[in-house]
A and B are shown apart, each in its own frame.
Chain A
Amino acid sequence: MLQTATPLYDDLIPGGSHWSLIIRRGHVLRLIDETGGASLGMLLYNPENTLERYNMPDTLKNQHTFHLTRGHVLFSDMGRVFASITRDDLGWHDTVSGTSNADLVARRWGEKTYQQAHNHYHRNGLTSFLNELAKFGLGKKDLTANLNWFSKVQTDDDGNMRFVPEHSSAGAVVDLRFEMDTLVVMHTCPHPLDTATEYPRRPVRYQLFTAASVSDADPCKISSPEATRAFANNALYHLMQ
């Protein structure tokens, strides 16, 4: 899946922080849970037309799944694939629980301001997303259902949701191979359903690699007829570029 074993870039997002970058088509973003118990909130946009964005309902219903893992692809609302999940050490990632906000963090783990705690203040997912989005001229109207990598939320037969603690361990890896240029917005604020008693502050390492070329027999491309058709939409999109 990777053309090179040495990352083009290697960086750490500390726990309770946020960052964003544009990842070009043909690159792999590797996410690594540095200490265990991480959660990485993520939003995706087409930098050429930010009205095209990650679509949770299309991603779930196209693949008849409630959770995300290796072999799944991440759909935009324009019937295309932003990225394929080419490696996953965990088997389950959440995209239905949304993100924490200031109220939720204060209720769960108490308020801690910058004045009190400097870089250990309690940031929340919503403010973090808006902070990064603003750098690209985006705002509240551009928020959508986000991804929560490394987190598992399960339901019972009646639809009751349950956060599974200790789902991710130190060193767990998720690889996302980007199938089109993508603005990637991330935060490492706590998952909104995290049951930890202390504000969870878990860093996530991210690395960039050059991806091997994608063949017609690629496992993600043929994982479902829906994914195959989305790759066809990507091909049309790239035909004129």
Chain B
Amino acid sequence: MIKPSSLQPEAAAFRETVPAGEYFLKVVKAGQSVRILDLEGNQAADTLFYNASNPSERYSAVDTIREQGNVYLTAGSRLLSSEGNLMLEITADTCGRHDTLGGACAAESNTTRYALEKKCMHSCRDSWLVAVTEHEELGMSKRDITHNINFFMNVPVTAEGGLTFADGISDAGKYVELKAAMDVLVMISNCPQLNNPCNAYNPTPIEVLVWE
């Protein structure tokens, strides 16, 4: 569902550009809104959310899609935790659909999806592992890297049980905006994937904005 936001970028309390291949890590407080902006189009923002005060509670793709009865995420979707609590709600979306089944790229999944010799290419799960090792104070590790949301990715499911990777429906300037219902740690890998035609083999930067 296309639903623009009334929040103005100039009024944001925080703005940061995240180049492709980098991670983004920040606590968004309950009541704050966070926008992920696709600056140049067809980029994938692979995102994990954690309860900021107890990261063993985290975003759960399967609980979220089951409880909303739909496999796609868009404006109105309520993102649930592994303990069934509301973490964030998608309040605005100019893209229309986001994927949470396809997971993130990894050195190991690149070997199976593309070619065995792709294993040393940079990947989203590498970016997250760097994020958790550079922030030891969080007490997180590979155990915390679970299923994520791929903002701006389009992965259609068919009634016959197929799964396809369609061209992106995002474009330069499209965004998704979420309002936090609890203090959440937001961990994004701005995807460095060079093997996927979805982004025309050209990963590009995103911007993250936060409003009070």
**Residues of A participating in the B interface, judged by any CB pair closer than 8 Å:** 51, 55-58, 60-62, 64-67, 75, 77-80, 92, 96-99, 101, 103-104, 139-146, 154-161, 192-193, 226-227, 229-230, 232-233
Contacts and interface: CB of A to CB of B under 8 A. Distances in A.
A155 to B, nearest CB: 5
Instruction: Determine the interface band of chain B, counting residues with CB < 8 A from chain A.
Output: 35 or more
Contacts of B8: none
A61 B163 contact: yes
Closest 5 CB pairs of A and B: A57-B103, A98-B62, A79-B108, A67-B161, A141-B143
Contacts of A140: 56-57, 82
Contact of A79 (B66, B111, B143): B111
B158 interface: yes
A75 B164 CA distance: 18
Interface string B132-159: 0000000000111011000000010111
B161 A230 contact: no
Given A99-B62, A143-B146, A155-B158, 19 more contacts: A56-B103, A56-B147, A57-B103, A57-B104, A58-B112, A64-B164, A65-B161, A66-B101, A79-B111, A96-B101, A98-B62, A101-B84, A139-B56, A145-B147, A155-B71, A155-B159, A161-B65, A161-B71, A230-B112
Contact of A161 (B66, B142, B165): B66
Given A141-B56, A158-B70, A57 B147 contact: yes
14 contacts: A56-B103, A58-B103, A61-B113, A61-B165, A65-B162, A66-B158, A96-B65, A143-B82, A144-B147, A145-B61, A154-B159, A160-B69, A192-B66, A229-B116
Most A-side CB within 10 Å, residue of B60, B65, B112? B112
Interface of B: 56-57, 60-63, 65-66, 69-72, 82-84, 101-104, 106-109, 111-113, 115-116, 119, 125, 142-144, 146-147, 155, 157-159, 161-165
